[in-house]
Amino acid sequence: MDSSTRFVLVNADIRGNIVRLQDSIATMTGLHDYPGEIQELLGQFVTAALLLSDTIKFEGRLTLQANGHGSIQLLMAEVTHEGDVRGIARLDEAAPASDFADKNLNQLLSGGTLTVTVEARGRERYQSIVPLSGESLAECLESYFQQSEQLNTFIRLATNSTQATGMLIQQLPAQLEQDPAQRTNRWETIQVLASTVTGPELMQDATATLLHHLFADEDIQIFGDTPVRFQCSCSEQRMAGALISLGEEDLASLFEENTSLELNCEFCGTLYNIDNQTLTQLVTAGIKPH
C-alpha cells in the first residue's frame, strides 16, 4: 500500500515523515512511455510533494512543478491533504532517450524553474520558487527550507524502476531544547545519522526497523500510515476551463472546424468530448479560466 508515515523523535524538537510509493507510480507512468530516468524523477517529484505537503497544515492541493527549457519541458506532481496524487512529465519530443541519462536535475531542466504552489481552502493561493541550487531535487528542497523557512531539513529520495521512497526530517521550533548550541548539536548529530541511510535501506527496510537502526539512541514515536493513492482530479469543468484559457478567438476557430473537441486528460487518459453548447453551459455555470 502506498503510504505516508509521520514520526517524531520524542526527546528532541525533530519530526519526520517517510513516503513509500509503488502502485500510484505504476498507474501514473503506465499511461505514458517515459524513459526510465524520467519515471524515476517523476516518482521523486510525487514523493517530494507528499513530504512537502506534510510540513504544512492545510486542506487542499500542493503542486511541485518544474518548467524546463531542456529535454524536460514540464514535470509536475500534484498531491492533496487526503493523499490523492497525480503527476506527469512533458518532454522535448525531439530529445533522444540518451539525453536523459546521467544528468542532474539542473541539466535536465536547463535553466528552468521549480515552484511549489499551495491552493488551500480559506487561504489565498501561494507560490514559492525553489532555487535550482543543488544537483538533486532533495538538495534543492533542503536549501529551500533553510532559506525560506529557516528550518533545518534533511531530505533523502530513493527510486528504482518500481518504487519511490522518501524521508524528510525537520527541526521544529525550540520547545524541549532551548539552548541554541545544544539545538545545533542535536540537529547535526541527527543529520549525520540520517545521511548514512542508503537508497536500498530506505526502500526495503520497514519504517520501524529503518528508524530504530538509524537513530538507535532516540525514543521514536511512529504514527499510523496515511494511505496514498493515484486519483485524478480532472473533470469536464476543469477541461472546459483549460479550453477557455485558449481565448475566444482561438476557440471560435477551433469550433469552426469541429463540432466538438476531443480532449484527453494528460494525467489519467480520460477522454472528454466537449461541444460548443456544453462549453457555453459550463461557462454560464460559472467556471473561470485557470
Binding site for Zn ion (CB under 5 A): 232, 234, 265, 267-268, 270
Work out how close the CB of 106 gets to Zn ion at its nearest, in angstroms, rounded to a whole number.
30
Work out how close the CB of 102 gets to Zn ion at its nearest, in angstroms, rounded to a whole number.
33
Task: List all residues 6 or more positions away from 272 whose beta carbon is below 8 Å from its beta carbon.
Answer: 234, 236, 239, 262, 263, 264, 265
Work out how close the CB of 96 gets to Zn ion at its nearest, in angstroms, rounded to a whole number.
29
Smaller CB separation from Zn ion, 7 or 272: 272
Work out how close the CB of 180 gets to Zn ion at its nearest, in angstroms, rounded to a whole number.
49
Instruction: For residue 156, give Cα distances in angstroms to 9, 20, 123, 218, 220.
Output: 18, 12, 30, 20, 19
Give the integer Cα–Cα distance in Å for 193 and 171.
Answer: 14
Work out how close the CB of 85 gets to Zn ion at its nearest, in angstroms, rounded to a whole number.
12
Smaller CB separation from Zn ion, 19 or 265: 265
Smaller CB separation from Zn ion, 31 or 244: 31
Work out how close the CB of 232 gets to Zn ion at its nearest, in angstroms, rounded to a whole number.
3
Smaller CB separation from Zn ion, 136 or 235: 235
Smaller CB separation from Zn ion, 172 or 263: 263
8 A C-beta contact, residue 32 and residue 42: no
Strands (DSSP E) found in 92-125: 113-120
Work out how close the CB of 271 gets to Zn ion at its nearest, in angstroms, rounded to a whole number.
10
Max CA distance (Å), the chain:
71
Work out how close the CB of 202 gets to Zn ion at its nearest, in angstroms, rounded to a whole number.
30
CB atoms within 10 A of CB 145: 20
Give the integer Cα–Cα distance in Å for 198 and 217.
Answer: 19
Smaller CB separation from Zn ion, 8 or 26: 26
Among 233, 138, 162, CA closest to 2 = 162
Structure-block grid coordinates of residue 84: 490523492
Smaller CB separation from Zn ion, 73 or 270: 270
Among 52, 71, 38, CA closest to 115 = 52
Smaller CB separation from Zn ion, 79 or 234: 234
The alpha-helical segments, DSSP class H, found in the chain are 23-30, 36-53, 105-109, 137-144, 180-194, 199-204, 207-214, 236-244, 248-257, 276-284
8 A C-beta contact, residue 100 and residue 37: yes
